[in-house]
Structure 1
Amino acid sequence: MIETGSLEIAGETFTTVQVALPKTNLLVITNDIGYIMCAALDVDVLNEKLADRHVIAGRASGVRTIDQLLHAPLEKVTEAAREKFGWETGMIGEEALKRLI
């Protein structure tokens, strides 16, 4: 099952996506600039194989809900997110997203 929704952070609307997969969930919070996601996706691929795309993304692990993703520390961020928006490992998801506004 795929669920989409919206979430307001500091006056900006973000889209939420939840995909129920066998034995796990894919979770994403995104806007037109970048996104945070659960550990079901691989930041290393974005940094290494897709580096020329300059993807703004961060990953948190151990989260099972959009709310947990929003409040979890990011364990990995793309180089583009670090360079363009100052995202750092350990930054809380909501704080990272506020920098996209």
Structure 2
Amino acid sequence: MVINVQNIELKKGSVLGIEIDYPKTKFLSITVSNIGYVMCGILDVKILDALHLERRIIAAKIPGASNLMDLLSLQITEVTETAAKIGIKVGMTGEEAINGMLDAKIPK
């Protein structure tokens, strides 16, 4: 198993990319520290909201990504309720969502 962790520099700040190679699949995530994340198709947004709505998790699902750069360039297909409340929308790219998280006024 290979685990790759790297800082990714964007115009609005630094984020953390994590890539884990599992047998026959790959886990990809880019996290904005203490705010939220975008993740590959493994993320189940409906379950996340159903089980943990009180946590106000800010997350977006981006299926079809093969690497961290894909997570930045591909479009979001699902977002958590709290992500939607701060302006993260289906159809945005991962980079647009990450920049939105970096700019966000996070609800308490």
TM-score by length of 1: 0.94
Distance 2:57 2:23 in 1: 27
Structure 1: 4+ residue segments shifted above 3 A: none
User: Secondary structure in 2 aligned to 1:17?
Assistant: strand
Q: Is residue 16 of structure 2 the alignment partner of residue 6 of structure 1?
A: no
Structure 1 equivalent of residue 54 of structure 2: 52
Q: 1:26 to 1:52 in 2, by over 3 A?
A: same
Counterpart mapping for 1:61-100 below 5 A: 61-83=63-85, 85-100=86-101
Q: How far is 1:11 from its partner?
A: 3.7
Q: Is residue 23 of structure 2 the alignment partner of residue 25 of structure 1?
A: no
Sequence identity, in percent? 34
Structure 1 equivalent of residue 39 of structure 2: 37
Residue by residue over 1:6-44, the C-alpha shift from the partner in whole angstroms, topping out at 9 and shown as x without a partner, is 101114110000011111100000012110000112111
Q: How far is 1:68 from its partner?
A: 0.7
Q: How many residues align?
A: 100
TM-score by length of 2: 0.88
Q: 1:7 to 1:81 in 2, by over 3 A?
A: same
Letter in 2 for 1:76: E
User: Secondary structure in 1 aligned to 2:49?
Assistant: helix
Structure 1 equivalent of residue 105 of structure 2: none
Residue by residue over 1:22-70, the C-alpha shift from the partner in whole angstroms, topping out at 9 and shown as x without a partner, is 1110000001211000011211121111111110000011110101111
Please report the RMSD computed on the Cα atoms of aligned residues, expressed in angstroms.
0.9
Gaps of 5+ in 2: 103-108
